[in-house]
Copies of this chain bind each other. A is one copy, B any other.
Amino acid sequence: MDTNTAIAALAALAQSTRLDTFRLLVKNEPEGVPAGDLARALSVPHNTMSSHLATLSRAGLIRSERQSRSIIYRADVDVLRNLTLFLVKDCCGGSPELCGPLIAELTPCCAPEPLRS
């Protein structure tokens, strides 16, 4: 992920309505949520929500797909993952020991391979 992409993603998430929207979409993966439902769920006018969705889209954090009259939005978790890597690599590149605790905290919550076999 290049710097400009990262900045766009950071800026997109640095606004409460957009952050709430993105988190709501992540929770509703992979079905997605229509634009109108998002506006209603967050008590935001349709046009305001629409412009926030456009910002998140431009940042690549969400994708949309028309489904008859509704437009379904979905979170693109890959971009979130890349953004996280982008941020973490700065601190790991310089001093790996600083980020050990991060892995330690992250692993119990979402280890790549569950312990149950």
Contact = CB atoms under 8 A, between A and B. Distances in A.
A85 B98 contact: no
A112 B102 CA distance: 8
A85 B106 contact: yes
Count of identical protomers in the assembly: 2
Nearest to A6: B19
A110 B100 contact: yes
Contact of A14 (B14, B96, B113): B14
Contacts of A40: none
A95 B29 contact: yes
Interface in A64-96: 75, 77, 80-81, 83-85, 87-96
Interface of A: 3, 6-7, 10-11, 13-16, 19, 22-23, 26-29, 75, 77, 80-81, 83-85, 87-107, 109-113
